[in-house]
Structure 1
Amino acid sequence: MSIDSLNWKILKLLQSHARLSNAEIGRRVGISSPAVSERIKKMEDLGVIQDYHTSVSPFEAGYQLKALITLRAFMGKLKPFLEKVKTYDEVVNCYRITGNENIVMEVVLKNQKHLEAFIDQLIVYGETKTQIVLSRVVKNNPIKPLK
């Protein structure tokens, strides 16, 4: 499926306002609500639209720290870690990456003691490096059409 300009308009609206009704999207892009629904369904079926979610502020939910932790896995420890990381409540995003490290995780933590305890769980899998997030500069920047 090629994503035409109308689908890109719909995607742009959904990326910035996921709770807009199909009727409102239709008004903004100039098509009927059923046509919007059909286009969205097709993009969902093809995997263009992957999911919908609610963004929660970790700080307002009581967490004091957000950090990026990289892991350079020990020989033979990467595959076990890839299964284990899915069980950690602290991990909100995890990526397998290229370079000296194998993994980068975005984590939320209650405090420094929680960070220390979490790192203690990780070091059996490899060497870690931690960066504390001070602020977010770009938030959920929408995917745009290729040029």
Structure 2
Amino acid sequence: MNDEIDQLLISALMQDSRSSLKTLARISGLSSPSVAQRIHKLEERKVITGYTVDVDPKAFGYQLQAIIRIRPLPGQLQEVERQIQNTPQFTECDKVTGDDCFIARLHVRSIEQLDSLLDGLNAYAETNTAIIKKSPVKRRLPPMG
């Protein structure tokens, strides 16, 4: 189980995954070697599964984001999943219960590109698209305690 110090370290790393051991030690009240040991144990237990960089897709010309609800046509589930996996503009996808089998996030440079990508899925699935205007809550962890 994770104690308060583990939660503090995880929170600090979520804010800045490049935080130094010295900074984490100051925040937690531990020594740098103790922090390093705790982080190593969190990694071994798969609590921390990786470190990442947050990049703005707009820097690469992706001006639009969309959430796509995807309902494969009968017998096309695996093909739709393969199409999503092989289309790099799909940056996230969840297989879900309900009428739609997939909910995916797509980044595109234009409406024309969106149409082109979705046209490729039309032979295999019905889609419902919502353009993202704003993301008031970015991806985050649920409460740890």
Normalised-by-shorter TM-score class = over 0.9
3-state SS of paired residue (1:93) = strand
How far apart in 1 are the matches of 2:43 and 2:73? 38
Structure 1 ranges of 4+ moved more than 4 A: none
- Describe the shift of the 1:119–1:107 C-alpha distance in structure 2 as closer, same or farther (beyond 3 A): same
Aligned: 1:123 with 2:118: no
- Two-structure CA RMSD over aligned residues (Å): 1.3
One-letter amino acid of the counterpart of residue 115, structure 1 = L
Identity %: 28
2:135 corresponding residue in structure 1 = 136
Contact 1:66/1:133, CA 8 A, preserved across alignment: yes
TM-aligned CA deviation for residue 33 of structure 1: 1.3
Matched AA of 1:77 = Q
Ranges in structure 2 where 5+ consecutive residues have no aligned partner:
none
Is residue 12–residue 142 contact of structure 1 (8 Å, CA) maintained in 2?
no
Q: Structure 1: which 5+ residue stretches go unaligned?
A: none
Between 29-38 and 7-16, the greater mean CA deviation after superposition: 29-38
The change in CA–CA distance for 1:143 and 1:36 in structure 2 (over 3 A counts) is: farther
- Measure how far apart 1:98 and its partner are: 1.4
**Correspondence 1:74-113 to 2 at 5 A:** 74-113=73-112
SS at match of 1:59: helix
Is 1:59 the equivalent of 2:88? Answer: no
1:12 counterpart = 2:11:
yes
